[in-house]
A and B are shown apart, each in its own frame.
Chain A
Amino acid sequence: MILDPSILALLVSSVLISLMTLYACGYGVQILRRWDIASGSELQLALERRTYLISTIVSYFLAFQLVSLFLLIQTVDSICHLFVGAMCAVGTLTVNSFGYPTLLLKVATFILAGLWLILNYADNKGYDYPLIRAKYLLLLIMAPFIVAETVVQWIYFLGLRPDIITSCCGSLFSQGSRGIASEILAAPSVPMEITFYACMLITVAAGTRLFLRGKGGYLFAGMSGISFAVSIVSIISFISLYFYEMPSHHCPFCILQKEYGYVGYPLYGLMFLGAVTGLGVATLQPFVKKESLEKIIPAMQRKLATVSVFSFLTFTAIVTWQILFSSFKLEGY
């Protein structure tokens, strides 16, 4: 293991967060089993008070998880020279098979926590705790992921040994690394560009429809999920090229570095925001019929859709700007 302060920080904080989550889950189970809104018993009053604690914990979790996601990338990037062949975060993450799972679990738990808070917000608007069961079931689904993330992250960092030979973005994300003609590289890029713009177009259209007619919640949410995934693939496939202005640098992490003006932070931030708010629409959809939320959910969905569409549009605008004004041109590669 490498005794780096950032690694220690990540490990310690993830353990603390996991413990808090387990603590919250204990009460979550109690709420699921003993909840009785009609009762004025002291147990019920105590459980209602607990709900405040749990939502506070999840809110902090969401904030911390976002920072920890970027810190993980930053950390593995800063220690990459310890590994032969690694030139940035990608190389360090591939040192053992737990690097990417850690990253993915961080993304997943972040999104789940965001969805939980959306449910929580809606629930708090209803006068009879309409979503209490859904909310705590989701918490129980979330908890194993959070704990798994802590465990996998430990294994990953424990397994990091200097001198392990790894490969980096140069070879991992480029089809032409063995000197094969550059046209191979161009081939997947152009269809990807088309897919990306098509995705964004459909998402915005679906969002507008949801906003105007209040219809197509699942369609929009599904599209925003797909857009999120397509955006990540697009970053690797072609967006990164315009930022690096190099034909074979396909790294999804280097755009977070100073050399590229930290442009990765707003880009990923917008993607996350778009995905969480977009998927939030679907999370609320099953409960539209709840009497106490009849008015609340459609209004919330509209707001969420607006934020989501706005995020994806801004994301697309930044990318398009770069494509148009970057001195790098994809044609010919």
Chain B
Amino acid sequence: MISVRDISKVFNAGRPNEFTALRRLSLDVQMHETTILKGPSGSGKTTLLGLMGCMARPSTGRISLNNREITSLPERFLTEIRRSTFGFIFQQFNLIKGISALENVMFPAYPTGEKFSTLHKRALATLEMFNLDKRADAKIEWLSGGEAQRVAIARALINNPMVIIADEPTAHLDTKLSQEFMDIMRDLKARGTTIILASHDPIVYDSDLADRVVEMRDGQVVHGGTGP
């Protein structure tokens, strides 16, 4: 369980452009469930995903992951947890250009020092899951939108994460690709992966995938927070 207690995130504290993106927010995310954060742009969804995914630390409040307090951990520990626990899918695909699809999938595992041959094998297998094994050596800029999206998902899965975090995954996709994305998420969910999605796209938050929809506004949860 990821439990978020009373967290606030203040940007540019003490300066004239001080901005409170999250205020005293509490939330529990159950494992093996799919949680969807919904809310207008600027409501703090991305900021919250970043905090839960160990990308940043809250200004106040505490976050614990499976009962381990992670708020005050140094960056190198947070990164380790992030690497082994979370897989990220971003609004833009955020793949590195000029490099093959296969290598892009392998990048998240580089700092673990895994042996090249086993890593290579794993990455190929992951690409195969998405019917991309033939495109493994293709450079990113040669891929179609649908292929790039699937490479991005494959990259999120390379370290066998417990939790998949996706921020506005369908924002740049047409309806067909958005449906395809949701199908892949459904597969993952069926295999027991925890999924956290942030979106203001009805295809996402109205889908049958959601175990819970959390509605946010102005950095606070207005609906569907703690408790069942």
Contact = CB atoms under 8 A, between A and B. Distances in A.
A41 B13 contact: yes
A68 to B, nearest CB: 31
Interface in B167-183: none
B57 to A, nearest CB: 5
Nearest to B77: A127
A129 B60 contact: no
B74 A40 contact: no
Nearest to B75: A48
A29 interface: no
Interface residues of B, number: 13
17 contacts: A37-B72, A38-B72, A40-B57, A40-B58, A40-B59, A40-B72, A41-B13, A41-B59, A42-B12, A42-B13, A42-B59, A48-B74, A48-B75, A127-B73, A127-B77, A128-B74, A129-B74
Given A40-B59, A41-B59, A128 B72 contact: yes
Main secondary structure of the interface of A (DSSP, over half): loop
A45 interface: yes
B73 to A, nearest CB: 6
Interface of A: 37-38, 40-42, 45, 48-49, 124, 127-129
Contacts of A124: 74, 76
Contacts of B71: 40
For B58, B71, B73, B74, the residue with the greatest tally of chain A CB atoms inside 10 Å of its CB is B74
Contact of A45 (B12, B57, B60): B57
Interface string B3-29: 000000000110000000000000000
A213 to B, nearest CB: 31
Contacts of A128: 72, 74
A48 B77 CA distance: 13
B94 to A, nearest CB: 22
A38 B76 CA distance: 16
A36 to B, nearest CB: 10
Contacts of A48: 74-75
B58 to A, nearest CB: 5
